[in-house]
Amino acid sequence: MSILMNASGAFCTTTEELKALNDTPETCAIVSKSCTLHSHKGNPQPHVYHDQYGGSINNSGLPNPGYKYYHQLCNTFTKPYIISVAGFTIEDNRTILQHLAKDPSPSYIEFNLSCPNIPGKAQVGYDPEALFKYLTIIRQSYPKPYGLKLPPYLDNAHIVQTANIINSFKPAFITCCNSLGNGLIIDQTTKQPALKSLGGISGIYLKPTALGNVYSFRRLLSQDTNIIACGGIKNAKDVIEYLQAGASYIQIGTQLIKEGPKCFNRINKELNISLH
C-alpha cells in the first residue's frame, strides 16, 4: 500500500500535472496547488531555485487558477483528491469552503494556514487567535473531512499551544510542514540572491525541523488526527525516519519538482528493498 503523494505546490497546478500524478502507480492521493477565490498570477518566474545541496527556496506568490478550476476536477481522478485552500481573507475562505462542501466535493480539503510568501499577510498558523478563528469558520462552513497545512514551529511552547487548539477541532489530518519562511539563498555563480526576494526554504534544510514537528505533534494530538509528513523527503531513508517519528503519510515537494513523478517509483522501490 502506498503512502506517498505530492506536496501542494509541487507539480500540481494544471490538470495535466494532476492527471500525471493520479496515473503514477506509487501515489496514494493527489493534492492540488493552493487556491484562492479568484485566479491569481503570483510572482514573475523564476520563483523556485534549487541549490547543489538539496535545498530549495520559492517565492511563487500563490499562482493558481482559482478554486473553481480544482472543484470542477472532483470527478476526474481515481485516487483521493485533496484540494489545498488558501483564500486571502476570512470571507474568501468562507465562500470557497461553502462551495467545496457542495457535491461533488474533493476527498479532503487541506487548509493552508502557512503560506510564507504573501506580503502583508501574517501566517495564520503562527497566530493562535487567528488559528482558532479559522478553525471555527471551517467547522461552520465545511462539514466534511479536512486537514491543516501547518508552518514549521521553532519553539515547543508554540507546538503545545497549537496542538491544544487543534485537539478541540479534531481535523482528519495535519500536514507538517510548509516551507520555512523568509529565507535567503545566495547563488554562488552570480553572488546574488537566487530569487528576487526572500522565500520559503524547503528540502534538506527543512527536514530536521519538520521531523521534530511531526514527532512532537504525534505525541500531543488526538489519535483521530493523522500526520502527513512534508519536508526534505528525497529517499526511502527519509520516509522511514518520518514514519518512525509518527507520520502516516508522506508528501514530496522539492524532490518532485527536481526529479518529476518518477521519484515516486524510485522511492517506492527503495522502500521495498529497505523494508524486506
Q: By the criterion CB under 6 A, which residues form the site for ligand RRO?
A: 9, 34, 58, 60-62, 86, 112, 114-117, 178-179, 200
> By the 8 A CB rule, do 231 and 207 touch?
yes
Buried b (16+ CB within 10 A) or exposed e, 128-157: eeebeebbebbeebbeeebbbbbbbbeeee
Task: For residue 106, give Cα distances in angstroms to 66, 72, 96, 137, 158.
Answer: 15, 10, 12, 18, 31
Is residue 56 within 8 A of residue 254, CB to CB? The reply is: yes
Judged by beta carbon, residue 150 or residue 271, the one nearer ligand RRO is 150
Closest separation in Å from C-beta 1 to ligand RRO:
27
Dihedral angle over CA of 51, 56, 58, 62, nearest 10:
140
> From the CB of 147, what's the least distance to ligand RRO, in Å?
14
Q: Please report how close the Cβ of residue 118 comes to ligand RRO at its closest, in angstroms.
A: 8
Residue 27 or 34: which CB sits closer to ligand RRO? 34
Residue nearest to ligand RRO (CB): 200
Closer residue to ligand RRO in complex, CB, 179/255: 179
Shortest Cβ 116–ligand RRO spacing (Å): 6
Q: Which amino acid is at 229?
A: A
Catalytic residue among 12, 28, 74, 115: 115
Distance CA 182, CA 91 (A): 26
Measured CA to CA in angstroms, residue 195 lies from 27, 43, 185, 202 at distances of: 31, 11, 8, 14
Residue 116 or 212: which CB sits closer to ligand RRO?
116
The closest alpha carbon to 79, from 20, 13, 138, belongs to 20
In the residue annotation, 115 being an active-site residue is answered as: yes
Grid cell in block for residue 272: 521495498
Whole-angstrom distance, CA of residue 207 vs CA of residue 202: 8
Choose between 24 and 117: whose C-beta lies nearer to ligand RRO: 117
d(CA 126, CA 276): 41
Distance of closest approach, residue 169 Cβ to ligand RRO, in angstroms: 20
Active site residues: 115
